[in-house]
Amino acid sequence: MAELERDTPDVDVLVEALEDDDVDVRAVAADVLGKVFGYVDNPPAEKRPVALDALLVRWDREKSNDVRSTLAQALALLGDPSVRPVLEAALDDGDPRVRRQASWGLAYLSLPARDRPKPGRPQPRERVVKECVRVRTMLGSEEDAVRLGRSVLDARLAAGVQIVGPFRSMYWYEGDFGDALQWQLDITTTAERFPELEQHIKDNHPYGTPDIIIAPIAGNADYLAWVSGETGQAGDL
């Protein structure tokens, strides 16, 4: 038993142990075989077919439900889609432990290899899509637009900004007619961060009364998830 649980187990020893008369030895052998190929970095690829064949043979012969439940998990951890029919049939097994491990194994195999759970591997964060908006303001020079856009990004109040221009603007302001070139700063953020963004623009804009125009945006889910992720609350980043 100690030989089976050492840090670098011998696959051939594990395969042989699957035929041991002791139920506990068979269970440990199946468990360790699964972990060698499912959890260990750089497992011995040339031994994978041998391990898979041995587990399938043991599956057909095994009478102990304790061992069968472990075998179901081990078969999935080897990552070979050819075991799907075996696990699907096991969903009707009379033992709930076997059914549970078969269900887990099918879910495991449905994941891309890079996303399969592994001890020590950080699990991917759940993708969150929030309501997203685009905020626009105008500035009198490209330098001012760059300065304000960078300060917004440094404060993590937006996922991205775009600067376009120059535009010719004509307007009334405090009774005087204006005719000048302006640059437009477009800011992509989430609706929940807009109050902070609005205050930031007011505090850092060179105009006394800056225009701040907000409009909701729709788009593909991956893009909106990116905006949401990059514009999280400060404690979430």
pLDDT at 233: 55
pLDDT at 108: 84
Report domain extents, the chain.
11-115, 132-236
CATH number of 11-115: 1.25.10.10
Q: How far apart are CA 222 and CA 129, in angstroms?
A: 9
Weakly modelled stretches of the chain, pLDDT under 50: 1-6, 121-124, 234-235, 237
Q: What is the pLDDT of residue 140?
A: 95
Residue 8: per-residue pLDDT: 58
What pLDDT is recorded for position 122?
47
pLDDT at residue 124, as a whole number? 47
Centroid of chain to Cα 101: 24
For the 132-236 domain, the top CATH level (class) is: alpha beta
Say what the pLDDT of residue 105 is: 87
C-alpha span between 113 and 185 (Å, rounded): 42
Tell me the pLDDT tens digit for each residue of 79-137: 889 999 999 999 999 988 899 888 888 888 887 777 676 665 444 455 556 789 999 99
Give the C-alpha separation, 79 to 114, whole Å: 12
Say what the pTM is. Answer: 0.49
Which of 88, 228, 75, 83 lies closest to 158 in space, CA to CA? 228
